[in-house]
């Protein structure tokens, strides 16, 4: 039985992406490969809402590496940062800033606590210079209000750093519209590619700050070097060549579909279909704002983790577990990747069977 992935990354790949590996590749230290990179990053920048030339780089590394590289290259000892910390990935920004000895405060949210203006107001006019947010806190599914965050950053003259790794190509996103200074995304989520590349896109004022900042401690992640090389479509070190060909193919697929709006509508339609069916069955979905990327399901009388194990072991269906105190409370179903309405119907059917099996096993134990 073939595995079916309803996880947020790596996702179920499209067949066109798999077929990329049957084609011939160009040696990456050639002008031809450089043109592929420049063309792809230009298209990607348009999807992100940043048309500033040579303002996006890519790293052969995970999304967390992209986050750390941003902290290394884009902050300095004079910065005072504010972090939205509502889960695993918001906390990761806190850990990175602490590791690199950058001053910061964090707005700590409970897992089911929506972010509001009241959380932000106490930090108004307090000397902060940068605001860090994981826009879609993937560990809980909460989607923060980018307009509210943008307004707060503008009112306080903050540089706005957004980890958009699990909201890009699932929810509306526009760097220029919201005055975002850094966007971090990665290959294995909304782009539906293999894992291994993170992309970082900069505003003009962030490019100026990078230019004036000291050289970072890490030679491999020196943004000045990447920005110089990207002008010719190259990277300082060996890139993930195959994933760049996947990217080229996926960007062409999005164009054929009708562009970013068609892609967003497609993900939203799958998301809404799943949530409607789930609600009809009686599954409990959190009432805080959610991304179209995934739907969390709350379990109160049985273990979410046990349900996940049955789906995996018996039906070859993979959904996202949660860690720590939420391991038995939440499972998360992704709506990105090469899945269909028929796949969603099958998932819901198998979830009901898995829940029944877990309940029966629980009764036997009691």
Where helices occur in the chain by DSSP H, the ranges are 15-19, 31-48, 63-74, 88-99, 117-121, 146-155, 175-178, 204-212, 223-230, 241-257, 260-281, 304-315, 341-365
Model confidence band, residue 363 (pLDDT cutoffs 50, 70, 90): confident
224-241 burial, b at 16+ Cβ within 10 Å, e below that, comes to ebbbebbeebbbbeebbe
Q: How confident is the model at residue 2, as a pLDDT?
A: 79
Structure-token pair, residue 68: 């750390």
Share of the chain above pLDDT 70, in %: 99
Q: 243 — alpha (psi -120 to 50), left (phi > 0) or beta?
A: alpha
Model confidence band, residue 3 (pLDDT cutoffs 50, 70, 90): confident
Kindly tell me if the per-residue pLDDT of 365 is higher than 80: no
Q: What is the CATH number of domain 15-257?
A: 3.40.640.10
pLDDT averaged over the chain?
Answer: 96
Q: How confident is the model at residue 287, as a pLDDT?
A: 95
Model confidence band, residue 238 (pLDDT cutoffs 50, 70, 90): very high
Structure-token pair, residue 88: 């695993």
State the Cα torsion 72-76-80-83 to the nearest 10°.
Answer: -10
Segments of the chain assigned to CATH 3.40.640.10: 15-257
CATH topology of domain 4-9+259-365: 3.90.1150
- pLDDT, tens digit, for every residue of 193-227? 999 999 999 999 999 999 999 999 999 999 999 99
Segments of the chain assigned to CATH 3.90.1150.10: 4-9+259-365
Mean pLDDT across 135-162: 97
Model confidence band, residue 366 (pLDDT cutoffs 50, 70, 90): low
Whole-number Å distance between alpha carbons of 66 and 60: 9
Q: How confident is the model at residue 364, as a pLDDT?
A: 73
Whole-number Å distance between alpha carbons of 99 and 71: 10
- pLDDT, tens digit, for every residue of 264-280? 999 999 999 999 999 99
Model confidence band, residue 1 (pLDDT cutoffs 50, 70, 90): low
- pLDDT, tens digit, for every residue of 30-71? 999 999 999 999 999 999 999 899 999 999 999 999 999 999
H helix count then E strand count, the chain: 13, 13
- pLDDT, tens digit, for every residue of 151-162? 999 999 999 999
Bridge partners for 185 per DSSP: 199
Q: How confident is the model at residue 355, as a pLDDT?
A: 97
Kindly tell me if the per-residue pLDDT of 340 is higher than 80: yes
- pLDDT, tens digit, for every residue of 102-129? 999 999 999 999 999 999 999 999 999 9
Mean pLDDT across 276-299: 97
Structure-token pair, residue 265: 């509508």
- pLDDT, tens digit, for every residue of 60-101? 999 999 999 999 999 999 999 999 999 999 999 999 999 999
């Amino acid at each position: 039985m073939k595995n079916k992935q309803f996880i947020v990354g790596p996702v179920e790949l499209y067949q066109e992406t798999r077929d990329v590996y049957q084609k011939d590749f160009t040696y990456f230290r050639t002008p031809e490969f450089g043109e592929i990179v420049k063309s792809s990053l230009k298209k990607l920048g348009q999807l992100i809402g940043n048309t500033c030339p040579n303002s996006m780089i890519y790293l052969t590394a995970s999304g967390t590496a992209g986050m750390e590289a941003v902290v290394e290259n884009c902050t300095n000892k004079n910065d005072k940062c504010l972090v939205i910390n509502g889960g695993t990935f918001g906390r990761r920004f806190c850990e990175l800033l602490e590791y690199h000895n950058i001053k910061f405060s964090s707005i700590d949210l409970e897992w089911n606590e929506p972010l509001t203006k009241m959380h932000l107001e106490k930090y108004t006019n307090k000397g902060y210079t940068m605001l860090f947010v994981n826009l879609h806190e993937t560990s809980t599914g909460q989607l923060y209000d980018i307009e509210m965050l943008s307004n707060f950053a503008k009112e306080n003259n903050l540089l706005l750093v957004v980890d958009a790794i699990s909201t890009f190509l699932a929810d509306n996103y526009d760097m220029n519209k919201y005055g975002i200074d850094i966007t971090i995304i990665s290959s294995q989520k909304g782009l539906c590619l293999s894992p291994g590349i993170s992309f970082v896109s900069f505003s003009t004022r962030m490019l100026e700050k990078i230019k004036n900042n000291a050289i970072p401690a890490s030679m491999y992640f020196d943004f000045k070097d990447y920005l110089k090389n990207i002008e010719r479509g190259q990277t300082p070190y060996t890139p993930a060549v195959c994933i760049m060909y996947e990217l080229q193919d996926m960007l062409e697929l999005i164009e054929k579909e009708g562009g970013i709006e068609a892609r967003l509508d497609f993900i939203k339609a799958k998301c809404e279909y799943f949530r409607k069916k789930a609600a009809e069955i009686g599954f409990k979905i959190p009432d805080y704002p959610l991304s179209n990327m995934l739907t969390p399901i709350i379990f109160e009388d049985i273990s979410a983790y046990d349900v996940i194990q049955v789906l995996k072991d018996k039906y070859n269906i993979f959904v996202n577990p949660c860690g720590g105190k939420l391991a038995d409370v939440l499972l998360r179903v992704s709506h990105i990747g090469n899945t269909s309405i028929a796949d969603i119907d099958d998932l819901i059917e198998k979830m009901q069977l898995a829940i029944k099996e877990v309940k029966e096993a629980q009764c036997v134990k009691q």
